[in-house]
Every structure is written in C-alpha cells, then in structure tokens.
C-alpha cells in the first residue's frame, strides 16, 4: 500500500525523524519482548462478533502472507510482519491528521471566497479521503488478524487448559474434549479453504471457557461473542477466577519457550483478560468493586513482580476507570497519544461519512410490505438537508440579544418549537439522544425481562425507581451475576420524550397552534428517521399515538401531505420490528450514523432468548448464544459512527427543560383543562336544534 498525495503541501512531506525513531523503537520492542503479549488493543471488536470468520477475507490472508518479506526467498517472520505493519499504519495515521486539517482549511476558504478553483479541488480531495480511509481500515483489519492468530492451542490441548488451572491435579480424572464441547461439521470454509471445518454447537460452562484458548477462537469471533453472552452460564467472578487460575499455573514457565503450550495458555489468558477489560469494564468491573479488587490484588501480588505486563494491566484499569468517571486527565502520556490517534481516526471516519452521505441517501429506501406503495412517494421527497462535508452551525433562533430567558423554559411554552425549523430540532434532539445512547453497552440489552421490560408497555412505572425492580421474574442470568440496569434509564428517557410530545400538543390553547405543533413533530420525526435516528422518530410516534392525542380535532384539518407522514412512520416501525438485523443490511450503517430504537432492539433480543438455553445433556447451546451476540453487537457498530452536527447548547437546554417539565405529566388531566382538545358544536347549530325540539313539542299539543 502506497500513500497517494493528499493535496498541495502534503504530497511532498515525508515521515519526520522523530516518527522514524518511534517506528524503530516499536520494532525493537517487538523483537525484544516476543514472549509477552503486545500491549495494544486486544478487544476483537463488534465486527468480530457480527461477521465471525467472515470478518477476515482472502485479501487479508494473502496480504499478511507477503507482509514482512523483502525478498521472495526470505522466510516469514512474525516480528518482521509486526514491524512493517506498524510502520504502514503509523504513516497512514499521520496522513489522516494532515488531510483532515488541510480539508478543513480548504472548506473555510471555499466558504469565504466561493471561487471555482476551490470547488474543483474539493471533490478530488474527497475521493482521496475515501481512499485513505479504506487503506487504514484494511491495515487495522490485518493487524487485528495478526493478533488473533497468536497464542492459540489446538483443540486436543483444551483438556490441558482445564487441567493446568486445577489446584489438585493429581486427583483429577482425565478429560476428553467430547465431554466438554459438541461440534457439527460444515462444508469447505470460504476463508481458509479447509475441508471438514468443525463449528461449535454447544458446551459445558467449563468447556466454553476453555474454548477461548482454541487456535481459531479469535478468528471465528468466538472471543467477542463470549464476552457479550457468558453471563447466561457463569458469573463474572467464576470467569475471572478461571483466567487467574490459568495465569497462576503457567506464569512461571511462560518465559522459557514461546512455542510451548504453557506459554500459549499464559499469553492467551492475558489477551482475553485485557480484551475483557477493554470491552466490558463499564458493565462488569465498574459495577462490581469486589471483582475489581480481586483482579487488582492478583496483578499486584503475582504478576507485577514477574514481568512488566502487570503494571500495564493496572494502568489499563486506571485509565478505564478514568474514562468511566470522565477524568480523562488521569491518562498517561502514552495513552493520551493513543487516544489522540483514535480521535483523529474517528474524526476522519465522521468526515468520510459526511462525504458519502449524499450518495447513500439517494438509495435510502425502505423495504415496505405490500399495500404501502403510496408511501414511497413521500419517502422520495426528502427534507432539504445540508450536504456540507463538515457540519455547519445551526441557525439558532437564540441570540445573545434575545429577550427570552431560558432559565424558565416552562414560561416560554411551545413558541420556540414552532419558530425553530424541523431540521434544527431534529439535529439537536439527535445529539441529545446520541449522548444517552453512547453510554449503553450491548450487554445492557440482555436479560431485559428480568428488569421488567415488556412489549407494548412502559418498561418501568413512573412511580417505581429502577432499584425496586424485582429480578426474580424470568432471570436468565445466573442468580449471583450482577446486572447493570442502564437499559431502564434508556427506556425511561424514551418514555419522557413521548410524554413531552403529547403534553406539548394537548396544552396548546388553540386548534391552529395544535395543527402547527402536530405538523412540526411529524416533520421532525420524518427528518429523524431519514437521518437514521430511529430512536427519536419512534419516541415521537409513540407520543403522537397517545390515545388522547389521536382524538384531537386538529387531525381533521391537518394538511393531507403532512398527515400521511404518520402512516409513513408506522411503516418504518413495522420495518424495524420485522428483522433484528434490518439496520445492518448493506454498507449504509458503516458510512451513516445510526441510533436504533432501544425498546425495539430489546424486544428482538427477548425473542432470541425465548426457549431453553441448554440441551438434554446439560450443555449450553452456543448457536443460540452466538445469534444473541450478533444482534447486540450492532450497538457498538452504531456507536463507532457518531453524528457530527454542530451543537446548539441553548436550544438543547430549552429542550431538556421542556422534557423534564412534562416527563411525569398526566396527559388526560392536561387535556381536560383545554377546550381546544374537544369537538365543539357551533352555537347556531346548537340553538337550531333546541328550536326544532321546541317546535316538535308544540305540535304535539295541537
């Protein structure tokens, strides 16, 4: 892979002497510490759980085969591959940063001058940006594959993995792999061209944990799938103890020969432990101080004194804790550099997302069921959405000189909702929703029945706090397994927005104002789902489908074209409920940000959780757990591609206050105080009815 020029002033720049020194140092580190796991990101990521073995195609295999060979006769060396890959990735990352800055400067000049020269240069640079993005993504995939191939053992060694962790090995009866794991055979695999590939079907809890050490566990996506779903068959304490026992029994022998099974078991244990911390710290360690204390105590007493990896693990825990609490300043200098690199990559990912947004949106059509043909016409009529590569500031109606005080948003009323455009409100509601969605984890959507989440009803009664929810009903996790209840907050937030929508409408004192608000909310919802913010779109739909709101007279005088958006939203709801992976189809989710409906996703997971998890012999069905992991992995997939709208903090503050003001409102009570919510009989018609009645009564006396 060779880097192409990115534009004026960048094609001629070479890697600086400092970066060359960093590359050289990185190479020496790899060669000097080949027996220790590399201290880099070990988490396989959502793509591993979603795609499984298909995550690495034949192009990755062939590229890695030729990596690190300067001549055709030269032997393949794992360390040489690592060094060359790090060099390429570092240079491409540098081009990331430079090109982003250069593009931003060009955009600013284009906005000021608007000359033809700038306009002709921007499309060329956009194409180069997309090419650079593909290069970095490919190199990251090769790096992940290189990491995944290390430290695994053959399947016949798996009983040894269990044997090495036992304290009393003399009295342990010999184990056979068939007593731990069940497989089924498949046809020739697409990636490695091997015949008779065995696919894991089921296993005992001990066998499923031992399979983490299999040579292909990382490549098949098993490790990430396990980290999402292990709570169905073992607790966090049991899993941690399993890893620590393997480290304890192999740590003293791991530095002798890197090719021995003991060394592979030890290093794979460290890999899995680090992947667990990186991916699930917020749901397992942050909520369980005893579990975190056990891990820190073990690392400090037994690992830190033998090699430097213990200190690195402790540093990783501290940084994860700092990120959880928002104390980013506690990160070390090395981690700050890494975070800056990741931030730069995310920035370019967001940038390239905006680049491809216009093209992707042209093909953005729903798979509607038969009988919904007319809706397609309105789907093609898009709202005028800004196509700038970098987000433009929202044209807020709030100015510094505004006489409206946002300190009391309840006094302002819905006036600002009507004054702001649907696009403005869509952008800010999307950013507010993204803030809540980014805090959730795929594990939060598991075992939701135990939290009281049900279909077509509010997850948690408003008068009941999350702490009082009983976990004794339909608990699929082990009884001692601690479950984070953030999903309840997510659903309660959704319910608050739906209540706010209904309350704003029924509190309007004129029918004309109600028509304006109904139109505005329908247009906001339309804009939201077109921007793939399905969470807010479905929340607005729920508010509009409130029984009181649906009976308002304002619906009868609503413009027909606007009223039909309601049917369009219902069609989108049917689409979301039709398939648990409908939002992962194609490549749109990779380039366009997405926020799914939390309640719909939870219902899909509940559907997969229906039925038994164990076979007759007591083995747990891994095929069932793998499907669940694949569905919830989309949470991390969507979080990787954030929205980049410019925040309007004043408008957001107003929206927050209005939502908070109405979150516990009784819609029927609010509607009863407003005469605009009732069908009014005209006075003349009413008096005419009385006169006709009196006339008929007089006629009876004659």
Residue 605: the pLDDT is 97
Q: Long-range CB contacts (< 8 A, 24+ apart) of 580-587?
A: 580/604, 580/605, 580/607, 580/608, 580/631, 581/630, 581/631, 581/634, 582/367, 583/532, 583/534, 583/634, 583/638, 584/50, 584/634, 584/637
- What is the rounded distance in angstroms from the CA atom of residue 536 to the CA atom of residue 528? 7
Helix ranges restricted to H, 507-546: 511-530, 534-544
pLDDT tens, residue by residue, 167-217: 444 344 556 778 888 988 766 544 444 445 788 999 999 999 999 999 889
- What is the rounded distance in angstroms from the CA atom of residue 520 to the CA atom of residue 542? 15
What b-and-e string marks burial along 255-285, b requiring 16 or more CB atoms within 10 Å of the CB? Answer: eeeeeebbbbbbbbbbbbbbbbbbbbbbbbb
Q: How far is CA 306 from CA 17, 35, 251, 309, 422, in A?
A: 35, 13, 8, 9, 61
Helix ranges restricted to H, 149-221: 158-164, 205-210
Bridge partners of residue 202, in order along the sequence: 182, 621
Gap between the terminal Cα atoms of the chain: 106
Phi, psi of 401 (to 5 degrees): -90, 5
Q: How far is CA 418 from CA 520, 558, 660, in A?
A: 7, 15, 19
Helices and strands in the chain: count of H runs, count of E runs: 29, 3
What b-and-e string marks burial along 480-512, b requiring 16 or more CB atoms within 10 Å of the CB? Answer: ebbbbbbbbbbbbbbbbbbbbbbbbbbbbeebe
Residue 559: the pLDDT is 93
Nearest Cα neighbor of 364 from 562, 520, 529 is 529
CB 82 within 8 A of CB 30: yes
- What is the rounded distance in angstroms from the CA atom of residue 6 to the CA atom of residue 105? 13
Contacts of residue 33, Cβ cutoff 8 Å, sequence gap at least 6? none
Two tokens, residue 110: 């284009």
- What is the rounded distance in angstroms from the CA atom of residue 70 to the CA atom of residue 93? 23
- What is the rounded distance in angstroms from the CA atom of residue 185 to the CA atom of residue 333? 49
- What is the rounded distance in angstroms from the CA atom of residue 613 to the CA atom of residue 447? 13
Nearest Cα neighbor of 549 from 524, 525, 566, 532 is 566
Residue 695: the pLDDT is 75
Residue 344: the pLDDT is 46
Rg, C-alpha atoms of the chain: 30
Strands across the sheet containing 198-203: 181-185, 198-203, 620-621
Domains with residue ranges and CATH for the chain = 44-166+203-322 (no CATH), 413-459+481-691 (1.10.840.10)
Q: How many CA atoms lie within 13 A of 482 on its CB side?
A: 16
Bridge partners of residue 621, in order along the sequence: 202
CB 527 within 8 A of CB 426: yes
CB 614 within 8 A of CB 621: yes
pLDDT tens, residue by residue, 387-428: 332 333 333 333 333 334 444 555 566 788 889 999 999 999
- What is the rounded distance in angstroms from the CA atom of residue 424 to the CA atom of residue 396? 8
Q: How far is CA 459 from CA 280, 379, 497, in A?
A: 24, 31, 14
Residue 90: the pLDDT is 87
- What is the rounded distance in angstroms from the CA atom of residue 615 to the CA atom of residue 565? 47
CB 317 within 8 A of CB 335: no
Contacts of residue 623, Cβ cutoff 8 Å, sequence gap at least 6? 201, 202
Residue 114: the pLDDT is 62
pTM of the model: 0.77
Residue 128: the pLDDT is 79
Nearest Cα neighbor of 525 from 576, 565, 574, 557 is 565
Phi, psi of 267 (to 5 degrees): -70, -35
What kind and span of H or E run contains 565?
Answer: helix 560-578
Residue ranges, the chain, pLDDT below 50? 1-37, 39, 71-75, 167-172, 189-195, 327-407, 457-472
- What is the rounded distance in angstroms from the CA atom of residue 492 to the CA atom of residue 458? 8
3-state SS, residue 184: strand
């Amino acid at each position: 892979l060779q880097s192409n020029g990115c534009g004026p002033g960048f094609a001629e720049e070479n890697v600086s002497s400092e970066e060359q020194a960093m590359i050289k140092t990185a190479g020496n580190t790899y060669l000097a510490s080949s027996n220790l796991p590399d201290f880099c990101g070990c988490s396989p990521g959502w793509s591993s759980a979603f795609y499984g073995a298909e995550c690495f195609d034949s192009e990755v295999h062939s590229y890695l085969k030729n990596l690190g060979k300067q001549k055709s006769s030269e032997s393949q060396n794992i360390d040489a591959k690592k060094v060359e890959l790090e060099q390429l990735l570092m240079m491409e990352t540098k081009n990331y940063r430079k090109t982003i800055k250069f593009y931003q400067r060009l955009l600013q000049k284009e906005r000021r001058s608007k000359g033809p020269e700038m306009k002709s240069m921007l499309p060329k640079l956009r194409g180069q940006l997309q090419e650079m993005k593909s290069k970095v993504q490919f190199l990251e995939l090769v790096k992940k594959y290189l990491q995944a191939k290390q430290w695994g053992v053959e399947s016949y060694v798996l009983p040894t993995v269990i044997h090495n962790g036992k304290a009393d090995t003399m009295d342990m009866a010999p184990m056979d792999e068939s007593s731990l794991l069940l497989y089924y055979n498949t046809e020739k695999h697409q990636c490695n061209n091997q015949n008779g590939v065995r696919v894991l079907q089921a296993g005992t809890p001990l066998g499923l944990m031992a399979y983490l050490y299999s040579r292909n566990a990382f490549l098949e996506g098993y490790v990430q799938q396990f980290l999402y779903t292990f709570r169905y068959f073992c607790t966090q304490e049991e899993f941690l103890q399993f890893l620590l026992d393997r480290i304890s029994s192999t740590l003293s022998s791991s530095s002798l020969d890197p090719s021995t099974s003991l060394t592979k078991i030890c290093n794979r244990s460290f890999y899995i432990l680090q992947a667990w911390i990186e991916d699930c710290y917020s749901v397992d360690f942050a909520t369980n101080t005893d579990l975190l204390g056990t891990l820190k105590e073990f690392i400090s007493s037994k690992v830190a004194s033998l090699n430097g990896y213990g200190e690195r693990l402790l540093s990783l825990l501290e940084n994860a804790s700092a990120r959880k609490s928002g104390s980013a300043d506690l990160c070390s200098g090395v981690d700050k550099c890494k975070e800056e690199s990741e931030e730069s990559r995310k920035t370019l990912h967001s940038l390239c997302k905006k680049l491809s947004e216009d093209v992707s949106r042209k093909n953005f059509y729903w798979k509607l069921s038969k009988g919904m043909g007319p809706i397609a016409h309105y789907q093609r009529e898009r709202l005028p959405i800004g196509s700038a590569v970098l987000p433009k500031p929202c044209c807020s109606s709030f100015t510094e000189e505004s006489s409206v005080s946002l300190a009391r948003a309840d006094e302002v009323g819905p006036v600002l909702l009507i004054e702001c455009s649907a696009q403005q409100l869509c952008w800010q509601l999307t950013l507010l929703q993204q803030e809540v969605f980014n805090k959730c984890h795929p594990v939060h959507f598991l075992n939701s029945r135990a939290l009281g989440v049900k279909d077509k009803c509010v997850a948690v009664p408003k008068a009941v706090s999350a702490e009082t929810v009983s976990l004794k009903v339909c608990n699929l996790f082990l009884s001692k397994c601690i479950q984070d209840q953030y999903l309840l907050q997510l659903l309660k937030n959704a319910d608050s927005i739906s209540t706010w929508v209904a309350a704003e409408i029924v509190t309007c004192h004129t029918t004309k104002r109600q028509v304006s608000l109904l139109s505005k909310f329908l247009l906001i919802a339309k804009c939201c789902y077109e921007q793939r913010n399905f969470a807010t779109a479905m929340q607005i739909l729920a508010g509009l489908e409130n029984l009181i709101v649906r009976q308002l007279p304002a619906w009868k005088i609503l413009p027909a074209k606007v009223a039909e958006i309601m049917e369009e939203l219902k069609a989108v709801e049917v689409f979301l409920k039709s398939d648990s992976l409908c939002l992962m189809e194609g490549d749109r989710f990779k380039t366009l940000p997405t926020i799914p409906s939390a309640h719909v996703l939870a219902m899909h997971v509940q559907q997969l959780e229906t039925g038994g998890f164990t076979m007759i012999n007591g083995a747990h069905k891994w095929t069932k757990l793998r499907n669940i992991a694949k569905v919830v992995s989309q949470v991390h997939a969507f979080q990787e591609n954030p929205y980049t709208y410019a925040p309007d903090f004043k408008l957001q503050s107003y929206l927050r206050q209005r939502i908070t003001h109405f979150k516990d409102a009784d819609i029927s009570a609010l509607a009863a105080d407003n005469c605009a919510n009732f069908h009014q009989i005209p006075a003349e018609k009413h008096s005419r009815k009385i006169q006709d009645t009196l006339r008929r009564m007089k006629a009876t006396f004659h």
